[in-house]
Structure 1
Amino acid sequence: MTWAIVIGLALLVFGLIAFALRAPRASWEVIGAALLLGIAGYALQGRPGQPGSPREPAETIANKGDAGVAERQKLGSEADLGDKHLVIADALARHGQFADAAEVLGGAVELDPANAEAWLAMGNALVGHAEGTISPASIYAYGQAATAAPDSPGPPFFLGMALIQSGRLAEGRSVWADLLARSPADAPWRGDLDKRLAELDRFMAGGQPAGEAPAR
């Protein structure tokens, strides 16, 4: 059926060019060859039976990037806000340009391998680039961030979130529970983390409708 449509369209285009637009008869052979070349290219590369891969609107992706940057900055220190690499990478991430952000952050950690905030931002950028799915590269970045700043809540918080987003709920919960257990009683992030864990537990127990994710 697909090939009939392709050939039919080719004949229609040829007819329009040759007769409706009155192309010179001498050019008909060239026109036909061009159309046949197009059909041959479709035969080599076309995949009419392959399902489509719809992508999220750019606005939605940008909103997620903006929220992720704000969340990371909330858990970080004010001293990190002046890092030029982070400023540039955060601006890119806010607009959904996660691959570019990760590249900028690669330069930051090359200059300073102990830059925990850059490693953390890189982990988030890699997860964002993979549309919310954790990868070995992002796990490595989170690990480097945790090594550089073992007392920071950022690396385990975002590692746990990435695991949960990827469907690895038990692993993500374990990371979050460990962070909560070693957080000081007066830690500013403790209340929010406790709430997220409770919501995750309800979700894992089937207390929420299928497909409804815990609050982020």
Structure 2
Amino acid sequence: MTHLATSLAALPLFGLIRDGGWTMWLIAALSVITLAVVLWKLWSLWRLGVWGGSHSRAALVLWAQGRPREAMEQVRGRPSARARVAQAAIGTSLDPRFDEAAAREETARVARQALFRSRAGLRALELIATIAPLLGLLGTVLGMIAAFQVLQSSGNQADPSDLAGGIWVALLTTAAGMAVAIPAGVALSWFESIADRLQSDLEDLATRVFVARDAPAAPPARSRLEAAE
């Protein structure tokens, strides 16, 4: 255990965190949490199938062609958000127990659940992107106060190098806070754009299913002989 502590203390990064004080330890913890949230979010979105949609698109084509059973088979049991919403829209449209209002409400319920899952964890990234720079600024202010206290106690015998050393250590926390907040903010913006696109796709998918359901059947095409008559 002692050997591990000695090895960590020899690392430059560990030394910077140690010199930055307790605010640097909090910022380091936020960096670990940010990485964990981003990795979990990528895994969650992959399981949600936000980058897929081939089965739901195929189901829409079959549904528009008047082949509802085949359309249902395309999305039945699929785990992706688009497939689940398409299954809810098509399934309720085929179920005589659901009128149009009830079918739309059930489809909206399934879509809301998928959208809630797509936005899970974003509040944590938003909080980190907000408080990490503030923690860095707090650490800088506390470090500057300590540096000027040393300057005041030293009087005319103050060593400028000691003052400069205290100032750069204090400014280190601001840089660290920004280094954590910027990736968190970028990840937050990216995940929000994915969720917005998913919401748009789900609304479009459900609308197309119900529009095709309510559309009147196309009249049979007349033959050339009938047209000539």
Q: TM-score range by the shorter chain?
A: under 0.3
The alignment's TM-score, normalised by the length of structure 2, stands at 0.26
Higher helix share: 2
Structure number with bigger Rg = 2
The alignment's TM-score, normalised by the length of structure 1, stands at 0.27
